[in-house]
A and B are shown apart, each in its own frame.
Chain A
Amino acid sequence: MSRASLALLALVACQKLSSPLPPEPNGLALLNEDVPQTPVFASASTRAAPAQGQTVVPARPTLKSQEVQAAPTLSAREVNFALQHTQVNAKVSGNIARVEVMQLYKNPSSDRLEAVYAFPLPANAAVTDMYFRIGKRVVYSEVQKREEAKKTYEAAKSEGRTAALTEQERPNLFTQSVANIAPGETVAVVIRYVHEVPLDDGRYQFVFPTTVGPRYVPGHGVKDAERVTPPTVPAGVQSTHDVDINVQLVPGVAFADVAAKHHDVVTGMTSEGVRLVALGEGDRRPNKDFVLTWAPAGAQPSAHALTQNDRGEQYVMLMLQPPAEVEAKTVRPKEMVFLVDVSGSMGGQPLDTAKGLVGAALDRMGPEDTFQLIAFASDTEQMSDKPLLNTRENVEAAKRWLGRMSGGGGTEMMKGIYSALAPAADPKRLRMVVFCTDGYIGNEQEILQATRTYRDRARVFGFGIGSSVNRYLIEGMGREGRGASDVVGPNEKVEPAVERLYKRLDRPVLTDLQLDFDGIAITDRQPEALPDLMAGQPLVVVGKAVGGKSGKVRITGRYAGAPWSKEIPIELSQAKDEAPVLGTLWARRKIDSLTFAEPSVDADRQAAITELGLKFKLITAYTSFVAVERELLVDPKLPLTQLLVPNELPEGVKAEGIFGDAELEVLPSRVKPGDPELRVKAAPTARAVRVRLPFETFSRDAAFDRASGEYVLRFLVPSGFPDGSYDVGIEVQHENGVIESRTSPLRVDTTPSAVAVVGADPALMPGHPFTLKLKPALALGDVTLDANALKGAMETKEVLVHAPWGETVFAELQGPLGIYVATLHPPESVKGPVSLEIVASDAAGNVSRRGYEVPLQQQRPLGALLALVGVLIAGLAWRKRT
């Protein structure tokens, strides 16, 4: 049985044995509650005087001071960060997913820890709850205005109370802060959300993003740039943070052809008829979106309504499929504009995918179509002054032009938008803009509003290219540009995506949609203005039902030039729904419409969004969740360390493409306690460099040195810090707000080098040079040293030899084998035996001293006598012969 199968069985077991804690505030069915348990707090401490009724969590004194660094210590491919694990449990029914995300934070240090993690969620997620667990204690959150929640959190932090704060930075980007994680302690933060699962071209698609791509912030600034550009895990390093995802599809028989796009999964069916999908054991690195797709089993109604009683009001969700696909009688000529992001983050595989997609789309153009190619990074470049006709020569030239593009530079997306959308329209053709990008920018609002501004001039099709694209932007561009969106992942064929694109471009569009009611009315509809529907795109409307208990809605429009209509009967729900979510989804849509209605959100809209967030307990840009442990206290006298949890670089994205080539140099690379300096030669776009040393609790700013163009930091290695190779964490903040994280090894070395005598004259002859050959070597007794000490012992910088007659010489390094050769000059007067002293020093200045006894040359009577005898005999023999 595979490990993945075991995981699936474990999931089934968990479902059956789910714990009753904590209760779901909205009455949602409990998902997996398999939160790891941590030890119960000790009940007393001698370190601080707790207030009455409070228990102080003691520091764990077993950790030595040098283990303070919660960040990485010894150099390794895998690095431990405060976030250990993310567990995702989702339940999907119809087109609604209820998801629970558990983030497990651990403090491996002896300080109090604050972990800050910027994490992604689906762009349409309505976050409804957050709580955290420490040991068996569960602390629930409340929703507050963002500023108030921040104050509550900060106050708790300063008091030494464990607290958690969840804030929204973008609809698909959130910040989780957890303060006062006690030394050695584990805190499990649980976030719950619901969202609509989109249906597109006959398939549903459930997405869970696992990482935040490094975003470009344009020069004119984004106010919250720091909050949307979290650090990334250094290149070549893999975080030990992993993600596990389990999805329940209910009822299982309603889901057909279930497939994961980028991950290995295992599936199974429970006896209760729930289809389970679990992530494979070997595919848990959080560096790409989890995308699960399926087709509805059996015949589907082309239109239906779902009603729920939520918070005392009746909510209705209308779903309408466009008419069955028909070929257009005549296809109107198009002006195809391919806008390709060639910024640094697109370098390599993503750009190759985009080129393939555009190339395939060029080949599919109609005979009357024209086309334009625009590439943008820090600036834009057009292939031609005006759109070109679809001729074989032009298409070949376009492919050659595109082939020359390589990833590099920033992502000035607004320039690309203007180049593609602003030119005057061709009256004979419909302009279709195909926008290929990973969406790694921080000014989404600006881009989406510009897209909306020009929506009358063109339809925009957002194509996300990559493993973890910014879906909020991609989907938003399709929506605001009256087009559609799609995502092409790594190693995914581009032809099906091109097929879907042209199906939408060439088939009739259902336009001028209107709703008429009979017996019942739907107010506060979201979206307020009904969009045009392209082939394969359903209409989903959520609103409040008023009037009678039942009725019908008539949807009218124009399709392929003729009137079109459809009726949907509505029966309001009389029973109390156990887990209503339509109110929440309506509120989420309403917040979206308030956010995008105008170029900037005015005070009235801000107040409306805040009111919705507080009423429906939703995280919004202006409301946050905060949870504070009121009974237990972590010793506030302990130093507080803040750690930013880095995100993995999305699969397929090259670090060099984003950050350029930065050179890091620690000088000297080997140090013993003293005051060396560290130098960082960062890219010209760097604006600040922060350094976290393994023996310091907090990061420090390096100073920019004008003379050398480097960032420099002076530091001390504390005495007694253990030998080893350590990671120095370096964060380079670039002018665009992107924070580049790297590491550089730093060797702390207090082990002296040792040398062995590998050759010497057998004896020392007064008045004659005496040569000694030495080589770094290990004594047998040293073999038990750890690897770092062994390295220290084997590395030698200089060797000195001192003789009792007062001569001291530097041994010269000679030959390919690295032999140190010392030649001494004993005077005639020397008397033996002679005791030499040999001192070896390493680069860090560690010294080893040893003695070496050399005999004075003695007369050798036996040898001399034998030689004399030999000579005599030979002489006699010669004489006799002559």
Chain B
Amino acid sequence: MRPLAFAILTLALAAVVWKHDRLKHVAVPVLKRPAELPPAAPRELGETAAVKLEPIAKLGTRVTALLTASDGTVWAGTFDRGVFRGEQQLEGNGRQQFVNALVEHGGQVWAATYGGVLEYDLDGGYRGEQLMGLATEALVVHRGELVAGTVRGVFRAFRPEGRALRVTSLAVNGDALWVGTPSGVYEAAGAWHPLVFGPEASSTNVVLALAPFGGGVLALTDNGGLVDVQPGREVRALRFNEPRANEGNPGAALVLGDVVRFGTQGGGLLEVRGGEVVRPKGWSVPVVTALAPGLLGDGAGNVYRL
């Protein structure tokens, strides 16, 4: 064999060896079950002291938001019957009756609804609406301004701010605004925290409620339990043996001192105390849909005083 031919053959052989692995991966499709990664291991729910519930109203439909206004009046948002001030049903039509959150700000009560943000006087008088027709899931006060989380992003004082994420929940921790989405948690500063990666990953990225916790937030998910999200750390999911306790309810999160409360769709009321997740002993309301200081709403339309 002539040397030039031998050299070409040798170079070709080298190329084949070099490309072997690449060729291997070009095969389509991969018809074998991928190695699935487990989410965080489930754990037992602890117990805490029993809580007394006193029914104070029955609204006939799922309670989705609660607020004790500065004049002491209890306000309630409902799944599909609008806003109640005490027992009085307030003005609203169509999607404005699908209420998600209530906040008092600037001497008015604001209601986040699927039909925009409604503004009421403290006496229940209808003042107007903002973000008309825009489905709004969450409302918080941040740096003295009302911030709305909508399906088209965050609106500060009803002006768009930042990326057009689909917002499901909001929380304020110190000066930081945290944003819950169907794809994990975002810090308003830009950092993104998907919930599904890490050694204790969640089984879902869908965030339904946020509560400030440590330097970050606790995220209540649709069916993956709680997830602890802290800046600079991997997420830590808290998943429970009791399946329905892992199903959160939208907006059902409340911070009371060093205790964080969450409402679930079947697991009742969860409390995070000293790093443990517990439930009041003998708890009898399985579907907790709304929380406010001293108040609790359920899926059957009942409002209780705690």
Q: Which residues of A contact B6 (CB under 8 A)?
A: 870, 873
A677 and B98 contact, CB distance less than 8 A: yes
Is B7's CB under 8 angstroms from A837's CB? no
Q: Which of A122-130, A203-211, A399-407, A711-719 contacts B (4 or more CB under 8 A)?
A: A711-719
Bitwise, A640-656 to B at CB < 8 A (1) or not (0) is 00000000000000000
A877 to B98, CA, bound (A): 84
Cα A880 to Cα B264 in complex, Å, equals 84
Q: Which of B14-22, B52-60, B153-161, B169-177 touches A?
A: B14-22
CB distance from B12 to the nearest CB of A (A): 9
Interface size (B, Cβ < 8 Å)?
63
Distance of A702 from chain B, by nearest CB (Å): 9
Cβ-defined contact, A845 with B222, below 8 A: yes
> Does chain B have a CB within 8 A of A13?
no
Is the CB of A849 closer than 8 A to any CB of chain B?
A: yes
Q: How far is the CA of A780 from the CA of B95 in the complex (A)?
A: 44
Residues of B within 8 A of A781 (CB): 33
Which of the 9-residue segments B34-42, B43-51, B102-110, B272-280 touches chain A? B34-42
Question: Do A867 and B197 have beta carbons less than 8 Å apart?
Answer: no
Contact B37 A866 (CB under 8 A): no
Q: List residues 843-858 of chain A with CB under 8 A from any CB of chain B.
A: 845-852, 855
Those of B180-230 within 8 Å (CB) of chain A: 182-183, 192, 194, 196-197, 201, 203-206, 222-223
Binds B, one of A146-154, A181-189, A753-761: A753-761
Say how far A353's CB is from chain B's closest CB, in angstroms.
Answer: 43
Contact digits for A728-766, partner B, Cβ 8 Å, 1 yes 0 no = 000000000000000000000000001111111111000
Q: Which residues of A contact B33 (CB under 8 A)?
A: 779-782
Which of A675, A707, A758, A860 is in CB contact (< 8 Å) with B18? A860
| Contact (Cβ within 8 A) A871 B7 | yes
Q: Are A874 and B3 in contact (CB under 8 A)?
A: yes
- Please determine whether A708 and B14 come into contact, CB atoms closer than 8 angstroms: no
Q: Considering residues B10, B11, B36, B250, which has the most beta carbons from chain A within 10 angstroms of its beta carbon?
A: B10
Residues from chain B with a CB closer than 8 A to the CB of A708 are: 94-95, 115, 133
Q: Which residues of B contact A779 (CB under 8 A)?
A: 30-34
Residue among B95, B182, B244 with max Cβ neighbours from chain A (10 Å): B95
Kindly supply a per-residue 1/0 record for chain A positions 857-878, scoring 1 wherever the CB is within 8 Å of any chain B CB and 0 otherwise.
0001011101101110110110
B112 to chain A, nearest CB (A): 14
Report the Cα distance A711→B80, complex, angstroms. 12
CB distance from B287 to the nearest CB of A (A): 10
Q: Is B28 an interface residue (CB 8 A)?
A: yes
Interface residue from A800, A864, A877 paired with B7 (Cβ < 8 Å): A877
B residues in contact with A295, CB < 8 Å: none
B14 touches A849 (CB 8 A): no
Bound-state CA distance A845–B13 (Å) is 48
Evaluate contact between B21 and A847: CB separation under 8 angstroms: no
A interface footprint on B83-102 (CB within 8 Å = 1, 0 otherwise): 00000000001111110000
Q: By the criterion CB–CB under 8 Å, are B204 and A847 in contact? A: yes
- Complex Cα distance, B37 from A300, in Å, reads 90
Chain B min CB distance to A871 (Å): 7
| Chain B residues within 8 Å of A556, by CB | none
Complexed CA–CA distance, A554 and B11 (Å): 123
Which residues of B from 236 to 267 have beta carbons under 8 Å from A?
244, 247, 250, 265-266
- Report A656-678 CB contacts with B as 1/0, cut-off 8 Å: 00000000000000001111010
- Would you mind naming 22 contact pairs between A and B with Cβ atoms under 8 Å apart? A673-B223, A673-B265, A674-B222, A706-B93, A707-B96, A708-B94, A714-B79, A719-B247, A756-B31, A762-B21, A777-B29, A780-B33, A800-B194, A841-B183, A845-B205, A851-B36, A852-B34, A855-B21, A862-B17, A863-B14, A866-B14, A870-B6
The 8 closest A-B pairs by CB, nearest first: A705-B94, A762-B21, A870-B10, A877-B3, A850-B34, A779-B33, A756-B30, A874-B7
Residues of B at under 8 Å CB distance from A?
Answer: 2-4, 6-8, 10-11, 13-15, 17-22, 24-26, 28-37, 39, 62, 79-80, 93-98, 114-116, 132-133, 182-183, 192, 194, 196-197, 201, 203-206, 222-223, 244, 247, 250, 265-266
- Name A residues whose Cβ lies closer than 8 Å to a Cβ of B: 672-675, 677, 703-708, 710-714, 716, 719, 754-763, 775, 777-782, 798, 800, 802, 808, 837-839, 841, 845-852, 855, 860, 862-864, 866-867, 869-871, 873-874, 876-877, 880
With A707-B95, A870-B11 already in contact, 10 other A-B pairs whose C-beta atoms are closer than 8 Å: A677-B114, A754-B34, A756-B29, A838-B34, A851-B35, A863-B15, A870-B10, A873-B7, A873-B10, A874-B3
